[in-house]
Structure 1
Amino acid sequence: MQDVSISSLALAPAPPAASPPGEKPALAAVALGLLTLLAAAADADVARARLSLYCALALLSGGALGWAWLAFGKREAGWHPHDLWRRPSTSRGAVAWATGVALTGFYVVVYWFPWLLTNLIRALDPFSQWARHRAADQWFLYGTFYTMAVLVMGGRALWKYRFSRYHLARTASVMFFQLGFGFLLPGLLLALQRPEFYFTYFWPLKYDYLFPGTVSQLLHNGGLGVFMVFWGAAMSFLATPVLTYFFGKRWYCAWVCGCGGLAETAGDAYRHLSDKSRQAWRWEVRLVYPILGLITLLTVLLWLGASGAVPALGVVTGPLGQFYGFAIGSVFSGIVGVGFYPLLGSRVWCRFGCPMAAYLGLLQKHFSRFRISTNGGQCISCGNCSNACEMGIDVKQYAQRGEPIVRAACVGCGLCATACPRGVLNLENGPREGRLTGSAFIHADSLRIL
């Protein structure tokens, strides 16, 4: 008897495999790279640990880029959901939990148990001597891993969004600023016996840059130190409001910031996990603005104490500064902000904790020209826009009503507009007049059915 194949009558396609067969060698290279990295961390022989570390980085980079090419480069360019909600690595499955635990554990070790990374740190000594003219430490190790993550996963983003000039430029921008201004330039300053300074971080994100002690230290380093103080103050209080007025907070959060750069590259696969509920928005408001107020208060108190007007302030500012550095600077921005990518989305820190995002958000909402316009008459309520939003904004609700999106949280990444199959959304820097006016909408009562 001859076998007759019967096609499925199911309306929906079968769930995809966890990883297509063609991608398995690339994923195996990533897994082997992680094992080699663990071997390097456990090897007390410096030469052997260095060789293992470089092999691990090569395997991780090559495997990740190879997987990105297989997953995105070989298929037709365009927006694809890529079954993110059906993969255990991107739908809070076992793989996601394991990844979250590993990331969280790494941050805990870097902050409080760096001696566990001694072998890896010593393995990077030659590179650190070349880049900074000094021995490596846990922060150089962390910066190296961080920069490689942005560059490698930035390559993935370039493959994935190669059909969009906006996203290609945005991805290239965060890769450039992280490599040049977040990694190489601070090392060069140290090599020249100058203070380590990050020109892409300003107050209130890099909160200590305008503290009296930091300002005094920089001013004692000659003309370059004076320029650093001027740069930090001008960018915080002059350039930031001006640029945000014209372009919204996207000029910084989606194009320059290192935290946003990691979220847009390494965290891109988790953007759909951001909580869109109203309760999450309430917690966002309850946390991010008090944190901005806290660092503003701390800065003012420190300057009052430094002026000598209120000598007793030292009793308050010391513990307050230590609390902020531990709870916000370490736990929130690092452990929760990055470690929880696979569980809560890629912008947890940006949404709930970043004082710079809060500052920019207030400027964007009340004083900026930026908005995302919508055309409610064309919305088909597919939900792609909300699914793509990493900041927890339910974009679909605005699009259905034809209302412009003027939200403090929006970082202007543009993925909602990219994901829309109907061209309903458009990022605009138009005049402030009519900024909150919705698009013309044809009501059902105005239609006649002949």
Structure 2
Amino acid sequence: MNSRAGTVKQLKTAVWMYLILGFLIAGLNVGLKPMLGILQGERITLIYELFETIGRTAFVLYGGILMFKLYSKRHIYRRKSIAGFMVMMSLLFVLLPVMTGYYEFVYAFMPFPWSTYPLQLLYDGHFLHSNVGAAFGGRGAEVMLTVYVAFQVLVYGAVAIKGRRIFCSMICPYGGCHAETFSEALPLVLHFDKGRDKVNQTLKLFLLTLKMFLITANMLLILLWIIALAGASFINVDILRTFELVKYLSLELMLFLALYLFLNGRGYCYYCPAGTMLSFWGLLFGHGIETNHSECVSCASCNKQCEMNINIMKSAQKGRKIQSSLCVECGHCIDACPTKTLQLKGYRKEHDQVKNED
């Protein structure tokens, strides 16, 4: 077995471990915890929180190290994405929880409208079935609302300046971090050659339809929570929380992990409500992939690297800017382009590095 094959095998083993532990621990937290006493339930919650923070970060770091072995320094965008995720996960999900003693930051570090997190905290200090208000000496709701608002301002401000890449391909603690650090090991079960046909069109249509459903459901939940905050007595918040929990567990956890088996790490990105909102926000500021910096030779290297199944080459042949709501601006296509005709707006330095390393 050659060195590359051995590294990929190590990465696949790590992904399998992540999936098995993820399903097992999430199942214990949701299925077994309600049947246990308070003390045992708190222990299950602690295990779940440690896995979601320190455990997931450990997998990101390990996967990132292996991916660095697989991709040389000329893959500027890919390596910077991996490094960004490794640093951000270490800061936000290891250092911050250890320093504060609070391990449920993940919900505050997802952009609006991923969940109704801030509205639930405003209502009674709880999010789903977690008593956030009890943290930080009884000031948990106030503290986490401040964290949430500050994060939204920073993310949306950064996306306005640098595009969607800054979050979806360098910070995202949900899907993006594993998409980049597990990339070469996926899919785990099926095998396909890289290329635009790697995503079945029926599956793609299903995921895009699911995206519309999630966006609609999230906006409806937001509206209902606003009505509840206004004092409407006919709104049953327990039903709202149960619906959001079921939605999260089925579509944003179980399906997300299942897509690792037969698609790729960006499966969730096809239908992520937050990513879609950031995409439209970035497009308002003219962000996208420029395709006219040299001549396209129609080699299709860009299409082969695109996990979002965008026909980059077709746009490059016409010198037309790529502004797709699916594009996570990972830069893999830019790394792969032999003539360096592709460039992300606002990333001239990285583009020049790619050219110099070629």
TM-score (norm 2): 0.75
Partner of 2:291: 374
Q: Are 1:169 and 2:80 counterparts? A: yes
Structure 2 residue runs of 5 or longer lacking an equivalent are 34-42, 188-193, 348-358
Q: Are 1:111 and 2:11 counterparts? A: no
Q: 1:11-410, aligned counterparts within 5 Å?
A: 19-20=1-2, 106-113=21-28, 136-159=46-69, 160-190=71-101, 196-198=104-106, 200-211=109-120, 212-213=122-123, 215=125, 221=136, 226-236=142-152, 238-258=153-173, 259-270=175-186, 272=194, 275=198, 282-308=205-231, 310-314=232-236, 317-327=237-247, 329-352=248-271, 354-365=272-283, 367-375=284-292, 378-410=295-327
Q: Which secondary structure does the structure 2 equivalent of 1:155 belong to?
A: helix
Structure 1 residue 324, shift from structure 2 partner? 2.8
| Cα distance change, pair 364–355 in 1 and its aligned pair in 2 (3 A) | same
**1:78-106 CA-partner distances (Å, limit 9, x unpaired):** xxxxxxxxxxxxxxxxxxxxx77x76554
Report how many aligned residue pairs link the two structures.
321
Check conservation: 2:25, 2:47, Cα contact below 8 A. no
RMSD of Structure 2 on Structure 1 (CA): 3.7
Check conservation: 1:103, 1:338, Cα contact below 8 A. no
Counterpart amino acid of residue 234 in structure 2: A
Please give the alpha-carbon distance, in whole angstroms, between the structure 1 residues aligned to 2:103 and 2:66.
Answer: 34
Check conservation: 2:110, 2:274, Cα contact below 8 A. no
Structure 1 residue 204, shift from structure 2 partner? 2.6
Partner of 1:121: none
| Cα distance change, pair 399–278 in 1 and its aligned pair in 2 (3 A) | farther
Structure 1 residue runs of 5 or longer lacking an equivalent are 1-18, 35-59, 61-98, 119-132, 431-450
Which structure would you say has the larger Rg?
1
Alignment match of 1:426 (pick from 329, 332, 343): 343
Structure 1 residue 406, shift from structure 2 partner? 0.6
Partner of 2:331: 414
Please give the alpha-carbon distance, in whole angstroms, between the structure 2 residues aligned to 1:243 and 1:250.
Answer: 10
Partner of 1:38: none
| Cα distance change, pair 195–169 in 1 and its aligned pair in 2 (3 A) | closer
Counterpart amino acid of residue 148 in structure 1: A
| Cα distance change, pair 280–376 in 1 and its aligned pair in 2 (3 A) | farther
| Cα distance change, pair 185–395 in 1 and its aligned pair in 2 (3 A) | same
TM-score (norm 1): 0.61
Please give the alpha-carbon distance, in whole angstroms, between the structure 1 residues aligned to 2:58 and 2:124.
Answer: 29
Q: Which secondary structure does the structure 1 equivalent of 2:250 belong to?
A: helix
Partner of 2:355: none
Partner of 1:89: none
Check conservation: 1:270, 1:345, Cα contact below 8 A. yes
Check conservation: 2:115, 2:218, Cα contact below 8 A. no
Please give the alpha-carbon distance, in whole angstroms, between the structure 1 residues aligned to 2:280 and 2:133.
Answer: 31
Structure 1 residue 426, shift from structure 2 partner? 1.0
| Cα distance change, pair 135–371 in 1 and its aligned pair in 2 (3 A) | closer
